[in-house]
Amino acid sequence: MKYASLGSGSRGNATLIEHQQHCVLIDCGFSRKVTLQRMAQLDIDPAQLKAVWVTHEHSDHAKGVQGLCEALDIPFYASFGTARKMEWLEHPLWHCIRAEQVVTLAGLSVTPVTVPHDAQEPLQYVISSDDGYKLGVLSDLGSLTPHIVEQYTGCHALQIEANHDPQLLQVGPYPPSLRARVAGNFGHLNNQQCAELVARVSWPGLKKVTAGHISEKNNDRNRVRALLASVLNCLPPDVELLEQDTVSDWYQLAL
Ligand SMILES: [Zn+2]
Ligand SMILES: [Zn+2]
């Protein structure tokens, strides 16, 4: 199994996962055209894409899902709350998923995990391949819970949100109400919370951590690197941060 980001941040998110020539997407917050262009940059043909899993209805995650899946005639998976908000309840390609109910497709078992975020029924995902690797994709959550720590334990790779630096958020350009939303328990994960989760789920098998959904206004990428380097025992330049407008490299899960 390998994975790559098609882009990550408040203007759009999508994570591509490939296993034995088949692909799935976690979220599609880009137009169909941009999504297919970025997949092509990673040498993925549209016919390889088998499904899209949606985390929640916010447009930076969901806006491209329906158009892409209709064009390719592939299913998309989302919670009832997300589907209701997106007006997908009657859509023939929508499949309803529930927290902790595993769906297996194309050699990948996808476990939806409940997270605290200000959406109708948000889920994040842990993806296990049939050859024994486990990838955790986690963004858009305001706080950590014991359940999240439990579900993301044992991952070989982790793509995790490092949204903001609390101090920079307080002095940043957001109005007080938006600032409170982002910093709240149902908002977004700050750098310290990100590092805390990485430290708590760290084990010798965790070989790759990529940080994403990094705010362009309320964060400093060097601070993210420094903090994660301290928990990963690596040098700050070796910490991989995702970009909003650029596809990442492929990250291969291997022992
Ligand atoms: Zn988001
Ligand atoms: Zn969100």
User: Rounded to an integer, what distance in angstroms lies between the CA atom of residue 207 and that of residue 155?
Assistant: 9
Query: Counting ligands in written order, which one lies closest to the CA of residue 13?
Result: 1
Residue 50 lies in a domain: yes
Phi-psi region of 62 (alpha: psi -120 to 50; beta: other; left: phi over 0): alpha
122 Cα–ligand 2 center, Å? 8
Residue 253 lies in a domain: no
- According to DSSP, the β-strands at 251-252 and 94-96 are unpaired
Residue 192 lies in a domain: yes
The strand pairing partners of 18, in sequence order, are 2, 23
55 Cα–ligand 2 center, Å? 8
Q: What is residue 77's three-state secondary structure?
A: strand
From first to last of its 255 residues, the chain has per-residue pLDDT tens of 999 999 999 999 999 999 999 999 999 999 999 999 999 999 999 999 999 999 999 999 999 999 999 999 999 999 999 999 999 999 999 999 999 999 999 999 999 999 999 999 999 999 999 999 999 999 999 999 999 999 999 999 999 999 999 999 999 999 999 999 999 999 999 999 999 999 999 999 999 999 999 999 999 999 999 999 999 999 999 999 999 999 999 999 975
> pTM for the whole thing?
0.97
Residue 112 lies in a domain: yes
Q: How many distinct structural domains can be found in the chain?
A: 1
Which residues constitute the domain of residue 223? 2-242
Residue 254 lies in a domain: no
User: Rounded to an integer, what distance in angstroms lies between the CA atom of residue 85 and that of residue 41?
Assistant: 32
Give me the count of residues in the chain: 255
Residue 252 lies in a domain: no
The strand pairing partners of 52, in sequence order, are 25, 76
According to DSSP, residue 54 is labeled: -
User: Rounded to an integer, what distance in angstroms lies between the CA atom of residue 28 and that of residue 14?
Assistant: 5
Residue 250 lies in a domain: no
CATH label of the domain that carries residue 177: 3.60.15.10
231 Cα–ligand 2 center, Å? 26
pLDDT (0 to 100) of residue 254: 78
